[in-house]
Amino acid sequence: MPAVPRRAPKAGIDPDPAKTWLRRAWPLLRAHRALLITSLVLSFAGLIVQVQIPDLVRVGIDDALVERTGSLATYAGLIAVLAVVQGVINYLARLYLLRTAYELEYDLRNVVFGHLMRMSYGFYDRVQSGELMSRATSDIRAVQMYLTFGPSILVQCTIAGIAFALMVSINPLLAVVAMLTMPAIAVLGVRMRKAIFPVSWLIQARLAGVATVVDENIQGVRIVKAFAGEQRQIDTLAGAADRVRWAYTTDAKLRSRWIPVMDNLPRLGLALVLLVGGLMVLEGHATVGTVVAFNSYVLMLQPPFRMLGMIIMMGQRAAASAQRIYDILDTAPDITDRVDAAAPPARGEVRLRDVRFTYPDGTVGLDGLDLHIRPGETVALVGATGSGKSTIGRLAARFYDVTGGQVLLDGVDVRDYPLATLRDRVGIVPDEPFLFSVSLHDNIAFGRPAADRDQVVAAAVAAGADEFIRELPDGYDTVVGERGYTLSGGQRQRVAIARALLVNPPVLILDDATSAVDVRVEHEIHESLRALMSGRTTIMVAHRLATIGLADRVVLIADGRVVADGTHAGLLASEPRYAQVLAATKSDEEVPA
Ligand SMILES: Nc1ncnc2c1ncn2[C@@H]1O[C@H](COP(=O)(O)OP(=O)(O)OP(=O)(O)O)[C@@H](O)[C@H]1O
């Protein structure tokens, strides 16, 4: 995959959980303060220009129309110029504000994703991916909106102060009359948001529900079809969609009740200004221009008062979203890296010493397991389902840390290796390989992005993948469908083996990695592995006799412990439990000679 040049996040979140959410977000805002302050200053300048316009209209009317002393064209021209200036300033203010918003969002997204990537298997065992997606999108958006639009709305609210000051300087009594409806607007604005807010939350939650149903059914479409579950799943979606419809309708009802009230209050304000202002004009205490200008001010004052409610609700939503984001960021990765530790020369010796391991949910994985695998050995791990075979590989690659005992690689505890070195030395191919929706070349080169085509092909040849890849329309450049579903199970496994081989690890763990490959191909893969990279330690979780036949040594695992160790023939003769496990695998294949 080509490296995309990117900028690192400029700042993160304050790590102190005792601080308020805004204080914790402060470093982010500070990192982008230049942009934000520029935008706010510009926005303020735009407001100053904006409040001048009604005043100019007032002077224009009184001067050019009533007194007939000034030139109408001059006033009209001046107003037009101010409008253009305000337009340009607003354009720039908006541009800077949006840039701040997206820069902040970029940082936040990278910080969250970077943290997610550092989290270990145990974390992903606990959390739900749908929930994480939502945190990574809508929660980040909610925080970003409040951090950038919040200050901007506050600046816009200052227009109320500026306009009021100007009105007082023109006509104090009329200024008070013009402001009369504002407190009502502010109070109703807050009430409206309070009424609508829970419903908008409900809409969000229910939309997420629909997304989960759609997502699961698209991911699991093969199962749905296999069990003819289409109609049932359509009904499930209809139920979820109905809940969204109800929430939207309730929202619409609330809005249609509140919005006309909010829209009509300003008209009451206009009527009051016309009545009181008109009487003052008739009595000679005000000019016609003043009444017209105050009309504009009344309209100009509405939005800030209306937005008060919005900003309060945005703040509440952002606080809840921020808390959910912080919950992720505050979860420290439980697999810690010893970046600067020195690693011994790689030989490929693996030793598990009285290893105990309990999964985060309390399930016992290994229970005092002792195992020594010499460099270059090929060992098959055999055992009933759930006996702990895969767990051994996961602990050797340090996807989890042991709860007791030690896993040693070349005599050094795996916890004392830099993680990158360890993962280079212990290659693992899971039984259900995951392929990315990129080309086969890029899938194979995932662990060595700089590898050239020859190296990729060599790995594919060794994994028995070259032949079928060449037959694909675009060969190695063929882009596989999501999760590699355009390939067969056996083909996906071979690509995954090639991916592990390209890294050329001294210890290779094949976790039932050839289960979907037919016996002949499996044999070929192992033959080429043997020939190509002799001296590699290979640990195979094996269910099939054919796979077991490739091993120098067989280790029988039961209840998280080693119960027997020897050759296939030896165990068959001496260990009844071995024969039982083999019988349970339902394999009727012969061991290759
Ligand atoms: N992520 C996990 N969270 C909780 N328990 C787990 C997890 N993975 C495995 N286990 C449990 O740990 C035990 C050992 O599992 P492991 O996957 O090592 O078995 P296995 O011998 O490889 O089985 P199989 O042959 O079926 O793959 C089982 O009881 C299993 O249910």
The set of residues, in sequence order, having a beta carbon less than 8 Å from that of 578 and lying 6+ positions away, is: 382, 554, 556, 564, 571, 572
Once rounded to an integer, what is the mean pLDDT over residues 130-159? Answer: 84
Q: What is the pLDDT of residues 259-292, one digit of tens each?
A: 888 888 888 889 999 999 999 999 999 999 999 9
- CA of 581 from ligand 1 middle (Å) equals 16
pTM of the complete model: 0.76
Q: Is the pLDDT of residue 70 over 50?
A: yes
As a whole-number percent, the residues of the chain with pLDDT over 90 amount to 40
> Which pLDDT band holds residue 120 (cuts at 50, 70, 90)?
confident
The mean per-residue pLDDT over the stretch 421-433 comes to 87
**What is the C-alpha separation between 370 and 379, in angstroms, rounded?**
14
Residue 311: pLDDT band (50, 70, 90) is confident
Probe residue for ligand 1, chosen from 124, 389, 511 as the CB with the greatest number of ligand atoms within 8 Å: 389
Could you give the CA distance from residue 447 to residue 572 in angstroms, rounded to a whole number?
39
> pLDDT digits over 375-415, tens only?
989 899 999 888 999 999 999 999 999 999 999 999 999 99
**Could you read off the pLDDT of 441-466 as tens digits, one per residue?**
999 999 888 999 999 999 999 888 89
Q: Select from 194, 142, 200, 201 the least CA-distant residue to 309.
A: 194
Position 593 scores a pLDDT of 38
Calculate the alpha carbon distances from 230 to 141, 211, 227 in Å.
35, 17, 8
| pLDDT > 90? residue 40 | yes
Res 122: pLDDT: 82
CA of 405 to the centre of ligand 1 (A): 19
- 365 Cβ inside 6 Å of ligand 1: yes
* Average pLDDT of the residues in 174-183: 90
pLDDT value of residue 547: 78
- The CB of 12 under 6 Å from ligand 1? The reply is no
pLDDT at position 546, please? Answer: 75
Residue with tokens 């899938």: 443
Give the separation between CA 554 and CA 550, rounded to whole angstroms.
10
List of domains in the chain: 21-329 (1.20.1560.10), 350-584 (3.40.50.300)
Nearest alpha-carbon partner for 122 in 421, 417, 355, 391:
391
Identify the residue with better confidence: 229 or 254.
254
What are the tokens at 513? Answer: 């990695």
- Do you know the residue count of the chain? 593
Report the C-alpha dihedral over residues 509, 514, 516, 520, rounded to 10 degrees: 180
Residue 586: the pLDDT is 52
Cα of 337 from ligand 1 centre, angstroms:
25
Strands 412-413 and 404-409: antiparallel
Quick check: CB of 363 below 6 Å from ligand 1? Answer: yes
Ligand 1 within 6 A of CB of 389: yes
Quick one: pLDDT at residue 259?
Answer: 87
Check whether 518 has a pLDDT greater than 70: yes
State residue 130's pLDDT score: 67
Percent of the chain surpassing pLDDT 70: 94
Which helix (H) or strand (E) is 540 found in, with range? Answer: strand 537-541
Q: How far is CA 332 from CA 11, 23, 56, in A?
A: 18, 20, 60
* Cβ of 388 below 6 Å from ligand 1: yes
124 lines ligand 1 (CB under 6 A): no
The residue written with tokens 């791990």 in the block is: 381
Give the separation between CA 283 and CA 173, rounded to whole angstroms: 14
For position 592, what pLDDT does the model report? Answer: 43
> In Å, how far are 65, 233, 440, 477, 490 from 485, measured between CA atoms?
77, 22, 13, 16, 11
Ligand 1 center from residue 387 Cα (angstroms): 7
ipTM above 0.90, yes or no: yes
Mutate to test the pocket of ligand 1, among 361, 391, 392 (most ligand atoms within 8 A of CB): 391
Confidence label for 433 from pLDDT (cuts 50, 70 and 90)? confident
For the cut 60, the answer to whether the pLDDT of residue 560 exceeds it is: yes
Q: Is 391 in the pocket of ligand 1 (CB under 6 A)?
A: yes
How much distance in Å is there from the Cα of 386 to the middle of ligand 1?
Answer: 5
The CA distance from 400 to 396, in Å, is 9
* Ramachandran angles phi, psi of 452, nearest 5°: -90, 175
- For residue 184, pLDDT beyond 80: yes
C-alpha span between 353 and 370 (Å, rounded) = 5
The DSSP code sequence of 272-324 is HHHHHHHHHHHTTSS-HHHHHHHHHHHHHHHHHHHHHHHHHHHHHHHHHHHHH
pLDDT exceeds cutoff 70 at 531: no
Contact 352, 371 (CB under 8 A): yes
> Is the pLDDT at 65 greater than 90, yes or no?
no
| Helices 72-118 and 21-31: angle between axes, nearest 10 degrees | 110
Mean pLDDT estimate for the chain:
87
- What residues form DSSP beta bridges with 566? 554
CA 245 to chain centre: 27
- pLDDT at position 528 is 65
Distance between alpha carbon 114 and the CA centroid of its chain, in Å?
Answer: 10
Q: What is the pLDDT of residue 374?
A: 93
Q: How far is CA 591 from the centre of its chain?
A: 47
Tell me the backbone φ, ψ of residue 439, rounded to 5 degrees.
-70, 165
Helix (H) or strand (E) holding 509: strand 507-511
Residue 497 neighbours by CB distance under 10 Å: 27
* Nearest Cα to Cα of residue 177 among 278, 323, 320, 327: 278
